[in-house]
Structure 1
């Protein structure tokens, strides 16, 4: 007590330094880790699916290119002189149904190449030879005339080799067309030239030596079914006969 001279005792507080610390575990970290795993697995799956789809398109593109190569190969085979229609028919059975419509379109395109005669005829119409290296497909030939079966745009060409043995002569090389729409033949192309014999100095050679020159005509024309194409040469005796020096041909560009 204060009266007895004794002071108040101080209060003593004890701090326990060995007390266990309670650690609060965070529940967010495991939750975000699980979310990441849920997103990674679908992304990996989408990546694999993309690779599969890409491989499918590459394979499809390869098949399309293979079909185009097949078509171009058929075009080359159809242009050979030996039995073109039979070869095209046999190849039609070897390709798939997706390529067959294209092959049928190729088969419809007509073409022809006729060779020059070994002798000169009596009329001014050139009589061609449908034999040997000559070829006709989806067209026909008769009496110097090439018959068109399918209407369309055709590329026509003709080459003649001439001998201007005289001093001067007029040469007229013409590609003609007979059609049902007109009573008289029509001129499609014409080459008209005045050619003179080339004089050579006397050198001991044969004085009857030929003076050869060429005439070539070509163009694109729209022809109808039933049209007849032929080549006319004024003074046909000037033509130098031969299957490779003279020829005529046609092929369809578009129906």
Structure 2
């Protein structure tokens, strides 16, 4: 070796381009790459399941509202859904309204069978209408006369069922006399006491200026109507002062009754 370092060997680095490269991967990163998609799928599945459950609840609630509508709690709807108890509920509803002093009028729809069983009658004028004690007689067999669950005897309607009845009567009088007192009454015989009670009355006095009287065509009509409580065994009849002046025939005189409410309303 020479002085001055001429004989020293230089350092040489050799790069092998053919050597294979093995990457070193991080274990933590690969683990999250596998977990994140699974979590997303689980969340999506839970969301879909919640939607299905919510839909089932909404469908069941819809079905319940169809089966039990709000109208069910109205008295009229209860009578429609339970017609067999409407007659029993009617009196209770009316009595409760009376106690509460309500201005509302309850509407009670009765069952068809109850309507068909309610008494009613209409009697037309007879060709021989004059009875004893000024009682008007009626035609109760022929023509447009009808009686249903009510009887008839010598001008009297016989009540067979207790309830509130609408009573009406029309009379036509020949006003031929110079002075005539016309007094039209609807009377009731009470079964317990056997006495007559005046239900309705129409009174009129007609006097002509001429002593000769009026023409035969001069007619006077009276009409009475009202609602009354009648009991089983009561008798309803019509009287007329100066009954000889009553115009006979089926079209000028009428008497009728029909039940509008059975039983008695509690006060």
User: Smaller-chain TM-score range?
Assistant: 0.5 to 0.7
Residue 122 (structure 1) shift: 5.0
How many residues of Structure 1 are paired with residues of Structure 2 in the alignment? 199
Q: Aligned residue for 1:42?
A: 53
Q: Aligned residue for 1:215?
A: 222
1:109-124 superposed matches below 5 A: 109-121=118-130, 123=132, 124=134
Pairing partner for 2:135 from 125, 130, 139:
125
Does residue 239 of structure 1 match 2:239?
A: no
CA RMSD of aligned residues (A): 3.3
Residue 51 (structure 1) shift: 4.6
1:1-255 superposed matches below 5 A: 22=29, 24-25=32-33, 26=36, 27-54=38-65, 56=67, 102-121=111-130, 123=132, 124-130=134-140, 131-197=142-208, 208-254=215-261, 255=263
CA distance in 2, matches of 1:162, 1:245: 9
Change (3 A) 1:241 1:197: farther
Change (3 A) 1:214 1:106: same
Q: TM-score normalized by structure 2?
A: 0.64
1:164 and 1:196 in contact (8 A); partners too: no
CA distance in 2, matches of 1:48, 1:245: 66
Residue 46 (structure 1) shift: 2.9
State the structure with more CA Rg: 2
- Indicate the SS of the match to 1:241: coil
CA distance in 2, matches of 1:143, 1:122: 8
Stretches of structure 1 lacking an aligned partner (at least 5 in a row): 10-15, 72-100, 200-206
Change (3 A) 1:34 1:173: same
- Indicate the SS of the match to 1:132: coil
